[in-house]
Amino acid sequence: MLIPNIVAGIGHLQKLAVDNKYKNKLNSLLKKALNYLDAEFVRQYKENDKLSMTSKVYIHAQLIHYLYARSFFWEKDPMSQETQRVAKLYFEECKKSWLTQSLYSKGMIAFIMQRKGEHEIAKLIVDVLNEQAVKSEENGMFWKENKNSWYWYQSPIETQALLIEAFTEIDGDLKKVEHLKQYLLKNKQTKNWSTTKATNEAIYALMMHGHKSTSIADNTLIRIGENKIKTNKLEPTKKEAGTGYFKVNWTAKEINPEMATVSLQNKSKSAGFGAVYWQYFEDMDQIKSSVNTELSIKKSIFVKETNAGGEQLVSITTATPIKLGDLVTVRLEITSKNDLEFVHLKDLRASGLEPIDVLSGYKWQDGLGYYQSTKDIAANFFFDDLPAGTYIFEYDVRANNKGNFSNGISSIQSMYAPEFISNSKGIRLMID
């Protein structure tokens, strides 16, 4: 897999018209790589032909990847006659079987057909992909089946980047291209691109196709209350090159009720992200549940009772208060609209409660893996991966002191995208 990746990468460099002092060495490396790939391609065909009881050839992802990488150089470095004869058999098989291939392979086959002059088939593949895509105003254009899995061709970022290229080269509709790029940017907002290949492919797709995603021209109108914030009036050093990131702060004296209304207008052709934070001091018991449709958390507390029917959870009321020595179950319900990575949940604990499980460690509950760290005043939960959905998990504490206690709140926040944050309401507990 490494050599086809290198060859395709050189193909991208040539499309970028990159001129460097290693050009001759790069061409020499490319020539050797193409000769090796062609020879290996023919060798595998002959070996499989001997083992096969029929003359039928079977196409799979690695062969498609070879043909895709080779398609960058069909005119500059044409195949030998023998290689062309074998490749023709696989071209025909690609025509017949593209509908049953993976999403990544469909994109590569579309490129192969386009560059071999089979424009109708290439356009048909792209049209089918367009019909199967999900189109969202918030998330752009994407495919539900584009999920990460075990195989090398099941990489969501690389697949999306490849399809951006395919729609640009074959379909040519820049509106669709921008929607495809929007999904990549939305993905980057909340997740980490974990491999260098995925990052390279994504950057290439964002930079080369459609409108420039790195433009930091003053195309965003931000209004706080009645005042406009003109980003072009900020110091250039405060506006990050490439991303256009900037940050503006207001002191307590500058804040007034009219500033509660915030409006944004994006006049550019690329997606943008922003967030507004309001920091203030408040009595813990008076805090209400935050209203956040993207990420939310709900906290409930129960007394765990054991009877003839087994264990049951009883809601805490004036009729069923917590008694000294009771086993108390804390239930946390998390709902996330987006796939998130690197999420921290902090659950404050009343001083009248003592944790049962004091050892830190990795745990699994309700289909969700997390690392739990128990401290004096709170339990901390760290999620490497929090897929979109609703999750409910519980842990136990023991009532060890009488009194009226503040149980605090539970707060959850994405460390990668801190604008995704939520908290539960404040709770008071009475332990008799």
Q: How confident is the model at residue 306 (pLDDT cuts 50, 70, 90)?
A: confident
Taking residues 77-100, what's their average pLDDT?
91
Q: Which residue spans of the chain are classified as CATH 1.25.40?
A: 2-208
Q: How confident is the model at residue 54 (pLDDT cuts 50, 70, 90)?
A: low
Taking residues 23-30, what's their average pLDDT?
83
Q: What is the pLDDT of residue 112?
A: 94
Burial category of 386 from C-beta neighbours within 10 Å (exposed 0-12, middle 13-18, buried 19 and up): buried
Please give the residue that has the higher pLDDT: either 18 or 68.
Answer: 68
Q: What is the pLDDT of residue 228?
A: 76
CA dihedral 191, 194, 195, 201 (to 10 degrees): 0
Ranges 6-10, 256-260, 396-400: which has the least confidence: 256-260
Taking residues 68-92, what's their average pLDDT?
91
Q: pLDDT (tens digit, 9 = 90+) per residue, 183-232?
A: 998 888 888 888 888 999 998 888 876 656 555 566 677 888 777 776 55
Q: What is the pLDDT of residue 142?
A: 94
Give the separation between CA 219 and CA 42, rounded to whole angstroms: 54
Cβ pair 42, 66 in contact under 8 A: no
Cβ pair 150, 236 in contact under 8 A: no
Cβ pair 390, 332 in contact under 8 A: no
Q: How confident is the model at residue 180 (pLDDT cuts 50, 70, 90)?
A: very high
Q: How confident is the model at residue 354 (pLDDT cuts 50, 70, 90)?
A: very high
Phi, psi of 56 (to 5 degrees): -75, 140
Q: pLDDT (tens digit, 9 = 90+) per residue, 292-302?
A: 778 999 999 99
Q: HSE of 97 in the Cβ direction (CA atoms, 13 Å)? A: 16
pTM tops 0.75, yes or no: yes
Instruction: Say whether pLDDT at 28 is over 60.
Output: yes
Instruction: Say whether pLDDT at 181 is over 70.
Output: yes
Taking residues 341-368, what's their average pLDDT?
92
Ranges 126-140, 174-188, 224-238: which has the least confidence: 224-238
Helices and strands per DSSP (H, E), number in the chain? 9, 18
| Token couple for 86 | 């074998």
* Residue 226 per-residue DSSP state: T
Burial category of 255 from C-beta neighbours within 10 Å (exposed 0-12, middle 13-18, buried 19 and up): middle
Q: What is the pLDDT of residue 75?
A: 86
Three-state secondary-structure class, residue 207: helix
Cβ pair 210, 178 in contact under 8 A: yes
The single-letter code of the amino acid at 259 is M
Beta strands in 33-153 (DSSP E): 134-136, 140-142
Q: What is the pLDDT of residue 214?
A: 58
Which residue do the tokens 């492919």 mark?
Answer: 201
Q: How confident is the model at residue 37 (pLDDT cuts 50, 70, 90)?
A: very high
Taking residues 145-149, what's their average pLDDT?
88
CA dihedral 178, 180, 185, 188 (to 10 degrees): -170
Q: What is the pLDDT of residue 46?
A: 84
Three-state secondary-structure class, residue 134: strand
The separation between CA 133 and the C-alpha centre of its own chain, rounded to angstroms, equals: 17
Cβ pair 357, 330 in contact under 8 A: no
Mean pLDDT of the chain: 86
The single-letter code of the amino acid at 393 is F
Task: State whether the Cα torsion 4-9-13-19 is positive or negative.
Answer: negative
Please give the residue that has the higher pLDDT: either 28 or 247.
Answer: 28
Q: How confident is the model at residue 252 (pLDDT cuts 50, 70, 90)?
A: confident
Q: Report the top-level CATH class of 284-431.
A: mainly beta
Please give the residue that has the higher pLDDT: either 21 or 396.
Answer: 396
Q: Which residue spans of the chain are classified as CATH 2.60.40.690?
A: 284-431
Instruction: Say whether pLDDT at 383 is over 70.
Output: yes
b/e map 223-232, b = 16+ CB within 10 Å: ebeeeeeebe
Taking residues 167-192, what's their average pLDDT?
89
Angstrom distances, CA of residue 242 to CA of 212, 245, 246, 343: 10, 8, 12, 26
Taking residues 17-22, what's their average pLDDT?
72
Q: What is the pLDDT of residue 211?
A: 59
- Helix (H) / strand (E) element for 346: namely strand 340-348
Share of the chain above pLDDT 90, in %: 45
Give the separation between CA 74 and CA 76, rounded to whole angstroms: 6
Q: What is the pLDDT of residue 49?
A: 63
Q: What is the pLDDT of residue 333?
A: 94
Instruction: Say whether pLDDT at 324 is over 60.
Output: yes
Taking residues 98-120, what's their average pLDDT?
94
Q: What is the pLDDT of residue 242?
A: 64
Q: What is the pLDDT of residue 379?
A: 93
Cβ pair 297, 291 in contact under 8 A: no
Instruction: Say whether pLDDT at 268 is over 90.
Output: no
Q: What is the pLDDT of residue 231?
A: 55
Q: HSE of 372 in the Cβ direction (CA atoms, 13 Å)? A: 20
Instruction: Say whether pLDDT at 235 is over 80.
Output: no
User: The domain at 2-208 falls in which architecture?
Assistant: Alpha Horseshoe (1.25)
Q: What is the pLDDT of residue 372?
A: 94
Please give the residue that has the higher pLDDT: either 282 or 331.
Answer: 331
Taking residues 119-129, what's their average pLDDT?
95
